[in-house]
Structure 1
Amino acid sequence: MNLPKKKITVYLYTFLFAAMSGNPLFSISGDTSKYIFIAFVLLLVAKHHTYFNLNKGIIYYRFFVFYALIFLFQKLILGYVSFPSTIAFMARITLGYIIIRHVGHNFKYAFFQIMFFVSLISLFGFMWNFLGKNIPYIYYTPPIDIYSDNSGRNIIFFHQHGVGGRNSGMFWEPGAFACYICLTFLFYLGNIRTLLKLHKWKVIILLLALITTYSTTGYIVLFIIGIATIYIEYKKKYGAFVLPILITFGLIAYITYENTEFMKEKMDHQVAAASQRDEGEFAPDRMSALLFDLHYIGKHPLIGNGYHVSTRFADHPSLQKEILGHGNGFSDFLASMGILSFLFYLFYIVRYNKNHPVIFVVSIIFLLQGEPLLNYPLFLCLPFVFIYDENNRRTVNLPQ
């Protein structure tokens, strides 16, 4: 069946948006790649220039002005703001605005389809790698991060991370892949039964892909989604039986946590290691990173310390010369952009998300404990998903 041109555009835009939110081939970590990314966004601005009409684009301008003020105050108070990082941040906001506004209420379904496709391919790649086979790479970057535990990365639609151990999908790390799969289900919070009824096998593929990530964060959020779904969608139908079902589900979650090496032992090890570190000592695991970031959150709580190493790690000059892997996206964002930025972000999610926003926000905060997701366009622009969920006449009606 041939898809209409508009539907092809919807899927293409959604895929590019996801890829630019964590596929290593689309990395924008260096200054050169940032400028390439900015140039691409400017092309989209030219193509969709009507979206920037002052009246129709007022939501975008609110975001733009708010974050511009944050960077302005950082310049005034910190004395320095990285120009490439500032422009790249604004470009991420602009990219998300254009794509989400264009896709509109089709975004959740299009993202579901893209993640299913990525998950399906990732499972073939995962099994091939698990059997000891090497998948030919089209791009290779030797690891330069001193905290990296892998010898290299093969990237096609998914990439390997070690030999057959965990499934990274097309993203930079298995935990990141788990976060994006969880986001797929969070978009349908309160309607999981319908999703299962219409797309049972696709949901199973997504769950299998999530399981093969062996991500502690992903598993925890999946349990949250499961408990919320049982309570929200089954309490009317099963009444008093919901409570024992919830208790049973909770016991399964607890037993899984207690008897799974990569969950309990990993968390216990991180907590113990973090508690033994000297004050100001950095390590990339989530607990150590959180304790380290508390210093910088307290230093400039409202506006943050910026993204450049000279201000972000101003009190730790030795770290400015290293390439750091940061394991806590929540504390990293607060330390970089401040509490005001995060509250602004949450305000628009809660205001426009009509499907159980509190559970959604709690889940997002859990996901951020594992990965720096707000450094990427998709998570950074989640408010736009809900803002343009209903009111966009440019969208096409994808099959639900």
Structure 2
Amino acid sequence: MKEWLPFLFVAWIIICSGSQHFRIYNSFFTNMFLLALAILYYLKKRVIMRANFITFLIILLYGGISTVYGVCIHGLRFNRNSFIIFCISCFALLILQSNMTKSDFKKKYIFFMTFETIISLVCFILVVYLDYSNLPGYYERIVPYTHQPGHNIVYLTPYYTMGWFSLNGFFKRNAGMFWEPGAHAVYIIIAILFAFSGALDGLKPKVRMLIVGILFLGVLSTKSTTGYMALALSFIFQILHSPQKWNTRKNLIIIMGVIWGIIFVALFSGVFDKLIYRSGSFGTRMNDTVSGLSVAFQNVFLGKGMFVAVSEELQKLNVIYISNGLVSLMIGIGVPMTVVYLALLHTGIKRLFQASGVALCCVELIFLLFMCSESLCTYPIFLSLLFLWRNESNETGLLLVKSRLYQQHRGMS
């Protein structure tokens, strides 16, 4: 198979995980294209792993039952768009992960995010430091969140989000193609974690350092509190995951210098002000968390329903869009199933990063920070942690596969 198809598939999974232009404002086209890529990829490979197929059916079955419960018992409105997007995302992951190894996925993920970060850094410099706003493809979109003049406009291009909801116009931070800078930091940090877990070991050291350096600058340009904390934890993970590489005083001094450098930049960029004075995004997320938990505890065991609209209840508590993804999940499926989700996430992280002990705890803390600061739990990249990759199962019962292709598949595993 030509290399462009699997790379495009991975790239589109990332785009469907948070692009402001594609996922949010052009969701129908974006998800139909993802569905087409999944079908085309399946027709080329014709392999579906039994374990992934069962996981797919269980997720959709529980999601359907939970939604019926929310609509029939609580009288909430069925969110059809969210349900369709979720189903397409799970189907795409079923096909992708049954046919691609985790090492291939991590490499393609890193290369795409490096490319995206380079573009975002160029746009960031042009918009913030050179005061150039006429980027190719620039447009403005009015959104219904608020009717206050100047606070209901999003400024963006298909590849770079410039700002939203402010009379001041553009961000002074790098949001990349995502909906806000913090989300951009999340996906860059995941690429860094992949690199630190050995995904780039086949490349020359200088190339690896260049890629990590670009991603590092990308995170710094987001000026995200979560991003900075996760970046420092990422370098700690690097030490714990590969201690043999950092057993010299010189290397240890270098990496500790990087960590203290991150803290220094955070101090002088206003990032820590949000923590100290509990203002800005920190205050918003704190209110989202407290208000969201009050709604979640109304139905602790079963939740409100997975694909139902609870925005009216949240708006009564001054929450327009809940930013705490973990609390949002609790509202939808209840506390017990959220614990099950976290247990499955633990297993997926352990497999994907091949970590254990304190190193594993470090990565899990990073993902917990992500989920508590952004609504990411049901986005494709996070859902992928619930499925197996092609080389993670020794099962012989593969579904929907011709014998010749099956033998080829076993030979590649």
2:228 to 215, 219, 226: 219
Residue 174 (structure 2) aligns with: 167
Distance in 1 (alpha carbons) for counterparts of 2:199 and 2:55: 33
One-letter amino acid of the structure 2 residue matched with residue 167 of structure 1: N
Whether 1:10 and 2:6 are equivalent positions in the alignment is yes
1:64 to 57, 81, 101: 57
Distance in 1 (alpha carbons) for counterparts of 2:251 and 2:107: 29
Distance in 1 (alpha carbons) for counterparts of 2:20 and 2:30: 13
Q: Alpha-carbon deviation of 1:295?
A: 1.3
Structure 1 residues 236, 269: CA separation in 2 closer, same or farther (over 3 Å shift)?
same
Residues 272-322 of structure 1 deviation map (CA, whole Å, 9 limit, x = unaligned): 998xxxxxxxx8x21111111111222233443235665x25655747xx9
Residue 152 (structure 1) aligns with: 154
One-letter amino acid of the structure 2 residue matched with residue 299 of structure 1: Q
Distance in 2 (alpha carbons) for counterparts of 1:216 and 1:107: 28
1:94 to 71, 84, 91: 91
Alignment RMSD: 3.8
1:270 to 269, 278, 302: 278
Structure 1 residues 47, 192: CA separation in 2 closer, same or farther (over 3 Å shift)?
closer
| Residues paired across the two proteins, number | 376
Residue 306 (structure 1) aligns with: 305
Whether 1:208 and 2:217 are equivalent positions in the alignment is yes
Q: Alpha-carbon deviation of 1:23?
A: 1.2
Contact 1:96 1:381 in 2 (8 A): yes
Distance in 2 (alpha carbons) for counterparts of 1:272 and 1:13: 36
Structure 1 residues 268, 303: CA separation in 2 closer, same or farther (over 3 Å shift)?
farther
Structure 1 residues 208, 345: CA separation in 2 closer, same or farther (over 3 Å shift)?
same
Equivalent runs, 1:39-58 vs 2, <5 Å: 39-44=32-37, 46-49=39-42, 56-58=49-51
Residues 262-281 of structure 1 deviation map (CA, whole Å, 9 limit, x = unaligned): 3221123337998xxxxxxx
One-letter amino acid of the structure 2 residue matched with residue 15 of structure 1: A
One-letter amino acid of the structure 1 residue matched with residue 333 of structure 2: M
Contact 1:37 1:88 in 2 (8 A): no
Residues 342-386 of structure 1 deviation map (CA, whole Å, 9 limit, x = unaligned): 2354254156335224332221111122211224222222333x6
- TM-score when scaled to structure 1? 0.78
Q: Alpha-carbon deviation of 1:74?
A: 4.2
Distance in 2 (alpha carbons) for counterparts of 1:17 and 1:38: 10
Distance in 2 (alpha carbons) for counterparts of 1:34 and 1:156: 13
One-letter amino acid of the structure 2 residue matched with residue 293 of structure 1: G
Residue 331 (structure 1) aligns with: 327
- TM-score when scaled to structure 2? 0.76
Structure 1 residues 65, 202: CA separation in 2 closer, same or farther (over 3 Å shift)?
same
Q: Alpha-carbon deviation of 1:116?
A: 0.6
Structure 1 residues 36, 118: CA separation in 2 closer, same or farther (over 3 Å shift)?
closer
Distance in 1 (alpha carbons) for counterparts of 2:39 and 2:200: 41
Q: Alpha-carbon deviation of 1:25?
A: 2.3
Distance in 1 (alpha carbons) for counterparts of 2:33 and 2:200: 39
Q: Mind listing any 5+ residue stretches in structure 1 that lack a counterpart?
A: 275-282
2:108 to 110, 122, 126: 110
Distance in 1 (alpha carbons) for counterparts of 2:252 and 2:212: 25
Distance in 1 (alpha carbons) for counterparts of 2:20 and 2:265: 32
Q: Alpha-carbon deviation of 1:76?
A: 2.7
